[in-house]
Structure 1
Amino acid sequence: MSKILRINCVGDYSRWVGHIDRHPLVSVIDYAEVSPIRHSLNNYSVYAIFLRDDASVELDYGCGRYDYNQGTLLCVAPGQVGGKEDNGERVSITGWALLFHPDLLRGTPLEKQIRNYSFFDYRVNEALHMTDREHDILVSLMRRMREELDNDRDAQQDAILVGYIGLVLNFCQRFYNRQFQTRRIENSDILVRFNQLLADYYEQRLQLTFGLPTVQYCADRLCLSPNYFGDVIKKTTGDTASNHIRRFVIQLAKDGLSAGESVAQVADRLGFEYSQHFSRMFRKQEGITPTEYGRRRRS
């Protein structure tokens, strides 16, 4: 049975690595100051951002494994499990960790906005690989937060810390967007595999058992998290993965309607539970009903 360290508050992790916190809801750790440390497999109830500068260290996150390289950043959210089980070994690592409790965000705009940072739900093989300049920006923000934490607490400190965290997250989003652009060839390959997956789904008649293909199904088959998969498709095509699936299905529907199939036959063949759902989707996508489309094509 795995030994899991429960990170219910930032202090739980800080005590494990030997760091002394100055704030109950925020911890900024420079690993160079606490190394060597023991590994830990963590169950998080806090947000955490890990910037690792050391050579490759294999870690587990969820069901995946990841080899950290220099300048790699990984973000985890409450409810996730990750790290490496303690085997008694002490390892020297460098880099930074930022941990903050959801309570810090209560009543702030970031409390709702943080849900929009989809990279918190990326898998480890989708981590951010930063350039030297990007790395330096994040380290400078970590240092500024450390300086603020060294000040005596006052009425403004929490707002300042939340502001810094918001900056960190916005820079992470910018850097991920850059990574999507610089990895266009890989992203294009994902789109090709996505289209082939949809074709295979209908070729194998899986829709008759499972219904319409879903984003979750496609992401799982492509070994990607749904959030990362959706972001890649959006950056590559300008549209959402769910809309891409709908367009694929509508094209198959058009082929059937043009060949003389009835609306009910097309809906059943494509995996719709009710023909009304098919008609509603078709009209929303094409601006006319499937009956009208079939009539026009056959006239």
Structure 2
Amino acid sequence: MKQIIHLETISEINRFVQQGGAKHPLVAVIDFSKVDEYIEAGTRISCGFYSVMFKNYCINNMKYGRQQYDFQEGSLICIAPKQVVELDSEIEKREDMMGWGLFFHPDLVRGTALGSRMKDYSFFSYEASEALHLSEKEKQVLHDCIVNIENELNENIDSHSQNLIVSNIELFLNYCARYYGRQFITRKHTNRDVVGQVEKALKDYFYSDKLEKKGLPTVSYLAAIVNFSPNYLSDLLKKETGMNAKDHIHHFVIEEAKNILLGSSKSISEIAYQLGFEYPQYFSRLFKQKTGNTPQEFRNLTT
């Protein structure tokens, strides 16, 4: 396995792609049509900053997270700091080869309104196979945002620079969030299949010996079943059903708890352990949070 190349600063990404000195210490826009893209097969790269990349051509056998992925034409990926990407040297050569990358360090947005919202842009934690596929109109809107950021970078840095750059990055990310919402809708038929797989996975888990051995199922467990990242699965389920992945787990366990409460004389502690809770107090607290009653109150109301 090849050594990971770690790029911690914006200056280092500029040097890596041979784009000269950085115009700003915390943010860069890179034109991929001007970059010599030969990368040795198996090269693994990790960055200390946020990366957003769009290309109109394919990169074969890109590995990001757990999966291999063909970086398809017209797709955009968003990568959080410290994630590892592995790239092959196989690149589809074409005369109109183009693309761009937006790279910004967490320090740029730290202490700003955008900094407090970065966790809401969950697509930075999606797998590469969950890339955003853009329409021509969407490509143009995002490109216009990139041009605005680049124009600001070409100005002399002054007291307004950071606010203007951060505002344009926030606008860009908000458009990405909108377009991901559109992508969830246009893939509705496929999404319904995923919802069914999640429901089946929960039933199989609860009706096996996994509860006793491993405790409650996790979002990561469900995501692995359907080959999605935890964040992507949660966002997909939220768009499709109004409940994220954790909500689905909690809904299932509460419905099972109701059945056991009404169909047996087991104690609350016994039911909690049966349902995979390590502490009965947590079960009782979750039950009351979801139903408005404690388990014992629910049992008394229906007897």
Q: Compute the TM-score of the two structures, normalised by the length of structure 2.
A: 0.90
Match 1:114 to one of 112, 118, 140 = 118
Q: What is the match of residue 202 of structure 1?
A: 206
CA shift for structure 1 position 36? 4.2
SS of alignment partner, residue 57 of structure 2: coil
Q: How has the CA–CA distance of structure 1 residues 273 and 3 changed in structure 2, closer, same or farther, with 3 Å as cutoff?
A: closer
CA distance in 1, matches of 2:76, 2:145: 14
Equivalent pairs, count: 297
> In 2 relative to 1, CA 248–19 (structure 1 residues): closer, same or farther, beyond 3 Å?
same
Q: Secondary structure at the match of 1:57?
A: strand
Q: Determine if the alignment matches structure 1 residue 75 to structure 2 residue 78.
A: yes
Q: How far apart are the structure 1 equivalents of 2:177 and 2:63?
A: 23
Identity of aligned residues (%): 36
Counterparts of 1:247 and 1:114, CA distance in 2: 28
Q: Distance in 2 between matches of 1:197 and 1:162?
A: 42
Task: Find the aligned partners of 1:105 and 1:293 in 2 and give their Cα distance.
Answer: 47
The residue identity in structure 2 corresponding to 1:60 is K
Give the counterpart letter for 2:2 in structure 1. S
What root-mean-square deviation, in Å, do the aligned CA atoms of Structure 1 and Structure 2 show? 2.1
Distance 1:288-1:24 versus aligned 2 partners, 3 A rule: closer
Aligned to 2:271: 266
Q: Which residue of 1 aligns with 2:173?
A: 169
Aligned pairs (5 A) from 1:19-98: 19-20=19-20, 21-38=22-39, 40-84=43-87, 93-98=97-102
* Superposition map of 1:135-174 within 5 A: 135-174=139-178
Identify if the C-alpha distance between structure 1 residues 214 and 198 changes in structure 2 by more than 3 Å, giving closer, same or farther: same
Q: C-alpha displacement at 1:154, in angstroms? A: 2.1
Matched with 1:281 is 286
Give the gaps of 5 or more residues in structure 1.
none
Which of 290, 293, 298 aligns to 1:293? It is: 298
**Shift of the alpha carbon at 1:102?**
1.4
Cα distance in 1 for residues equivalent to 2:162 and 2:276: 52
Distance 1:200 1:132 in 2: 43
SS class of match (1:207): helix
Give the deviation of 1:30 after TM superposition.
1.1
Aligned mate of 1:134, from 120, 138, 142: 138
**Equivalent residue for 2:7?**
7
User: Separation in 2 of the partners of 1:278 and 1:31?
Assistant: 53
Structure 1, residues 109-155: CA drift from partner, whole Å, max 9, x if none? 11211121101101111111111111111111112222222222222
8 A contact 2:59–2:92 mirrored in 1: no
**1:158 deviation in Å?**
2.0
1:229 maps to 2:244: no
Q: Distance in 1 between matches of 2:25 and 2:70?
A: 31
In the TM superposition, residue 183 of structure 1 has moved relative to its aligned partner by 1.0
Alpha-carbon separation, structure 2, partners of 1:190 and 1:54: 29
Tell me the CA shift for residue 85 of structure 1: 5.4
Structure 1 segments (4+ residues) deviating >4 Å: 89-93
Aligned mates of 1:114, 1:281 — CA distance in 2: 28
Gaps of 5+ in 2: none
